[in-house]
Chains A and B, each alone.
Chain A
């Protein structure tokens, strides 16, 4: 029997043929990184490889690291493995990583969604023999609404708040979700303000050429009264803090796939929950898996046991792989997503 292309180790996914890891969670010599979220892109590795589009944010977050870049679709040889990065549609710059050894192809999905969000490079299906798929929302109760319908709800809420003299405070993860929400906003309603963490990410992405609406960073000397009817984008952790209270009377909202569940919505105790996720929903996961043509499916973070069983009943050879991913929209940290 041939050695598997990728193995599952305590440090993370490992390719023996190329002697590298993918999104490892313990320090390794050489790490291939799917995207810049903290659970996939950690500090302490010897060398990094990421897409040209993902690199600036990773550098911004991890500081001085030995980071090499690669273009989408470009094939690079590492040891006896051929690797290439393909758009995952999760956030700007995010990638799936294809690894081929002696004609056997494995694809690591990283985090992904298959519907275009207008900002991230759209998901591209990659044919393979084995597919390692996330399944954060791998239950049939998770189905996302059309993005246009969410945008309408979002803007109606904002306009309504502005009319009542309330500031609109929207919690969204500072890398990816915040920018996506910004791109859905109707800037005719009012000004956009940003928390420092969101502003910093915006600056990096704008410099790369991603089109974002104009916004103003909230600094200690900014007076909210000078920005009537504003919407404020902030990381979820900032909501309910003294920082948020300084914004005065506000209506708060959250954007996350978890907002699909009433229980989670109520636990958040926000005024509004918008069902917007950068992960694939149930149908999205099945479509992605089907289009890879893969026979072997390894499922990671999410409702893995249930999802793997469902895949097996549909005829795939599916197994659960334990990983330490699940930072941006995992249910355990739904409060930070």
Chain B
């Protein structure tokens, strides 16, 4: 564990990507295979099965530290992380040990076989031989969520440096439904494995936001334009007679969208499509709000299948006849995609995402203004000769979104953030006027600079009217411009509306509170864009 803790401390201490990659590559060179496998697993969001509940951990830690449980609970939101709170609150370890990362993981797994009393004793013994960072990591193994600023991309690069393998093919290997319990370092990284390859998606190619004028992209004939859909980016994989659906977050979501199984009836084996999963009313996508009802569900009731049916709007063909097409120029991939999809009947759950013809940037700029009518968020611009790259690479793919909708609202509640923002007030509730009353309609967490968060935090502390647990009601004095991507009717909210991706776009220090927008204004936006 000490070796892993040292690695963690090094990674955590620096903000420089090159140093992080170097430290990780060195670790991958020297660590034992089992530790390497678990490190890859942890940094790609996998974790051991939880052997102890967090409630038990809290109770045992408070008892061991000699503080009442409520005091640990009060400290938790301030520290911002339970594993860290426990690591900090425990008395210093009395002994030390140097057992490996995988030893402790296997040890934790064996806990499920012992009685609850013994489990407590074992955990206390473990805490008593780990120093603070080791303890934090040990607790993280139990509570999960190793978010420590290591992206999968960075880890893949380090692994490529350490093994001498190609980064892209390693990225491909790390995709998919593997767990450290079901594979080995050798099988995952080094060996050939046909069965696992069948389910494996390709790493997604992601577009950059276009902030410049499109004119700077050069000649329009080099570019392909499509609508930018507001759905779930996904890959549909048809191989070995079966099908798999992967989200961009590398989550296997095959079972959540059973409609897509029928793709096997219409498309040949050895096909991989990249596209957007959207709810479909027969002619166009339904609102994201409708799709939202499907997102959290692992099994889908019949009624929902009928009310919110999904299809894949396909815009790229990554594999055809079992051949990896990613190095083929987009224009050719697209021609083959169109050929594959052109004669499909309307009951097929896959449709091509239309290409928008245009001959000038000016003309396309006009088309873009109609995005909301098309139920889209704007346009995608893709260079016709571009290969399908890995990750977010600048230059070939751009998202050219509509400007967000905005409204000026009054801050009425504030709450402290978590993690790196734990000591700042960053989570706010906003309201608009209805007569003399302020009606809350949204929360927002992002959009301000650290300096602005510091300033507003100091203000919140001095202007708290009332506390409800962690939430503070503040003097209605500050106006913020709230930007959002969409607006929906929502009977669950007092205001009757719900926003899509709200954030603070500006702190309107110039605007008196009386001049913030009204509920009527908000309803007008709903009527126009909902």
Q: Which residues of A contact B (CB under 8 A)?
A: 139-143, 258, 260-267, 269, 271-272, 303, 306, 309-310, 313, 331-335
Contact partners of A306 in chain B: CB under 8 A:
71, 74-75
Q: Cα distance A140–B423 when bound, in Å?
A: 16
Q: Cα distance A332–B457 when bound, in Å?
A: 6
* Stretch from B46-54, B78-86, B352-360 that touches the partner: B78-86
Contact partners of A269 in chain B: CB under 8 A:
15
Question: Can you show 20 pairs from A to B with CB atoms below 8 A apart?
Answer: A139-B71, A140-B65, A141-B79, A261-B422, A261-B423, A263-B81, A263-B418, A263-B419, A263-B420, A263-B421, A265-B12, A267-B420, A267-B421, A271-B14, A303-B78, A310-B67, A313-B68, A331-B423, A332-B457, A333-B458
Asked if A310 contacts B71 (CB within 8 A), the reply is yes
Contact partners of B424 in chain A: CB under 8 A:
267
Q: Cα distance A267–B417 when bound, in Å?
A: 12
Asked if B75 contacts A334 (CB within 8 A), the reply is no
How far does the Cβ of A296 sit from chain B's closest Cβ, in whole Å?
21
Q: Is B13 an interface residue (CB 8 A)?
A: yes
Contact partners of A334 in chain B: CB under 8 A:
423
Asked if A332 contacts B75 (CB within 8 A), the reply is no
Q: Cα distance A306–B421 when bound, in Å?
A: 20
Specify the chain A residue showing the minimal Cβ separation from B451: A335
Q: Cα distance A262–B418 when bound, in Å?
A: 11
Asked if A267 contacts B88 (CB within 8 A), the reply is no
* CB neighbors of A among B416-463 (8 A): 418-424, 450, 454, 457-458, 461
Specify the chain B residue showing the minimal Cβ separation from A335: B454
How far does the Cβ of A191 sit from chain B's closest Cβ, in whole Å?
24
Contact partners of A272 in chain B: CB under 8 A:
13
Asked if A139 contacts B419 (CB within 8 A), the reply is no
Contact partners of A142 in chain B: CB under 8 A:
88
Q: Cα distance A335–B420 when bound, in Å?
A: 13
Asked if B71 contacts A143 (CB within 8 A), the reply is no
Specify the chain B residue showing the minimal Cβ separation from A303: B78
Q: Is B45 an interface residue (CB 8 A)?
A: no
Asked if A261 contacts B75 (CB within 8 A), the reply is no
Specify the chain B residue showing the minimal Cβ separation from A261: B79
Asked if A143 contacts B419 (CB within 8 A), the reply is no
Q: Cα distance A129–B149 when bound, in Å?
A: 50
Asked if A262 contacts B81 (CB within 8 A), the reply is yes
Q: Is B89 an interface residue (CB 8 A)?
A: yes
Once A262-B12, A331-B423 are accepted as A-B contacts, the answer to whether A140 and B89 lie under 8 Å apart by CB is yes
Asked if A263 contacts B67 (CB within 8 A), the reply is no
Contact partners of A258 in chain B: CB under 8 A:
423
Asked if B79 contacts A263 (CB within 8 A), the reply is yes
Asked if A263 contacts B88 (CB within 8 A), the reply is no
Contact partners of A335 in chain B: CB under 8 A:
450, 454
Q: Cα distance A256–B527 when bound, in Å?
A: 52
Specify the chain B residue showing the minimal Cβ separation from A141: B88
Asked if B13 contacts A141 (CB within 8 A), the reply is no
- Which 9 pairs, one residue from A and one from B, show the smallest C-beta to C-beta distance? A141-B88, A263-B422, A331-B423, A266-B420, A263-B80, A263-B420, A332-B458, A267-B420, A306-B74
Q: Cα distance A35–B72 when bound, in Å?
A: 33
Contact partners of A260 in chain B: CB under 8 A:
88
Interface size class of chain B, counting residues whose CB lies under 8 Å from the partner chain: 20 to 34
Q: Cα distance A84–B13 when bound, in Å?
A: 45
Asked if B75 contacts A263 (CB within 8 A), the reply is no
Specify the chain B residue showing the minimal Cβ separation from A326: B461
How far does the Cβ of B448 sit from chain A's closest Cβ, in whole Å?
13
Q: Cα distance A266–B147 when bound, in Å?
A: 12
Asked if B81 contacts A140 (CB within 8 A), the reply is no
* CB neighbors of A among B55-70 (8 A): 65, 67-68, 70
Asked if A139 contacts B75 (CB within 8 A), the reply is yes
* CB neighbors of A among B173-214 (8 A): none
Q: Cα distance A306–B422 when bound, in Å?
A: 16
Q: Cα distance A262–B85 when bound, in Å?
A: 10
Contact partners of A333 in chain B: CB under 8 A:
454, 458
Specify the chain A residue showing the minimal Cβ separation from B83: A262
Specify the chain A residue showing the minimal Cβ separation from B467: A305
Specify the chain B residue showing the minimal Cβ separation from A253: B13
How far does the Cβ of B77 sit from chain A's closest Cβ, in whole Å?
11
How far does the Cβ of B72 sit from chain A's closest Cβ, in whole Å?
8
Specify the chain B residue showing the minimal Cβ separation from A336: B454
Contact partners of A331 in chain B: CB under 8 A:
423
Once A141-B85, A266-B149, A332-B458 are accepted as A-B contacts, the answer to whether A261 and B80 lie under 8 Å apart by CB is yes
Contact partners of B70 in chain A: CB under 8 A:
309
Contact partners of B420 in chain A: CB under 8 A:
262-264, 266-267
Once A143-B88, A271-B15, A303-B78 are accepted as A-B contacts, the answer to whether A264 and B454 lie under 8 Å apart by CB is no
Specify the chain A residue showing the minimal Cβ separation from B76: A141
Q: Cα distance A260–B78 when bound, in Å?
A: 12
Which of A258, A261, A335 has its CB near the most chain B CB atoms (within 10 A)?
A261
How far does the Cβ of A165 sit from chain B's closest Cβ, in whole Å?
15
* CB neighbors of A among B264-285 (8 A): none
Which of A143, A262, A313 has its CB near the most chain B CB atoms (within 10 A)?
A262
How far does the Cβ of B165 sit from chain A's closest Cβ, in whole Å?
29
Contact partners of A310 in chain B: CB under 8 A:
67-68, 71
Q: Cα distance A67–B136 when bound, in Å?
A: 50
Contact partners of B65 in chain A: CB under 8 A:
140
Q: Cα distance A309–B67 when bound, in Å?
A: 12
Q: Cα distance A283–B12 when bound, in Å?
A: 27
* CB neighbors of A among B9-36 (8 A): 12-15
Option from B12, B74, B149, B450 in Cβ contact (under 8 Å) with A267: B450
Specify the chain B residue showing the minimal Cβ separation from A314: B68
Asked if B423 contacts A139 (CB within 8 A), the reply is no
Q: Cα distance A142–B87 when bound, in Å?
A: 11
20 new A-B contacts, CB < 8 A, other than A140-B67, A266-B420, A267-B450, are A140-B71, A140-B72, A140-B75, A141-B75, A141-B78, A141-B89, A261-B78, A262-B81, A263-B80, A263-B81, A266-B419, A271-B14, A303-B74, A309-B70, A310-B71, A313-B68, A332-B423, A333-B454, A333-B458, A335-B454
Q: Cα distance A183–B212 when bound, in Å?
A: 52
Asked if B68 contacts A263 (CB within 8 A), the reply is no
How far does the Cβ of B190 sit from chain A's closest Cβ, in whole Å?
34
Q: Cα distance A332–B459 when bound, in Å?
A: 9
Asked if A271 contacts B461 (CB within 8 A), the reply is no
How far does the Cβ of A124 sit from chain B's closest Cβ, in whole Å?
27
Specify the chain A residue showing the minimal Cβ separation from B416: A331
Contact partners of B136 in chain A: CB under 8 A:
262
How far does the Cβ of A235 sit from chain B's closest Cβ, in whole Å?
16
How far does the Cβ of B354 sit from chain A's closest Cβ, in whole Å?
44
How far does the Cβ of B64 sit from chain A's closest Cβ, in whole Å?
12
How far does the Cβ of B223 sit from chain A's closest Cβ, in whole Å?
37
Contact partners of B89 in chain A: CB under 8 A:
140-141
How far does the Cβ of A318 sit from chain B's closest Cβ, in whole Å?
14
How far does the Cβ of B396 sit from chain A's closest Cβ, in whole Å?
31
Contact partners of A303 in chain B: CB under 8 A:
74, 78
Q: Cα distance A269–B136 when bound, in Å?
A: 20
Which of B136, B149, B454 has its CB near the most chain A CB atoms (within 10 A)?
B454
Q: Cα distance A46–B12 when bound, in Å?
A: 50
Asked if B14 contacts A263 (CB within 8 A), the reply is no
Once A263-B420, A272-B13 are accepted as A-B contacts, the answer to whether A139 and B78 lie under 8 Å apart by CB is yes
Q: Cα distance A306–B79 when bound, in Å?
A: 14
Contact partners of B80 in chain A: CB under 8 A:
261-263
Specify the chain A residue showing the minimal Cβ separation from B67: A140
Q: Cα distance A263–B149 when bound, in Å?
A: 12
Contact partners of B75 in chain A: CB under 8 A:
139-141, 306
How far does the Cβ of A166 sit from chain B's closest Cβ, in whole Å?
12
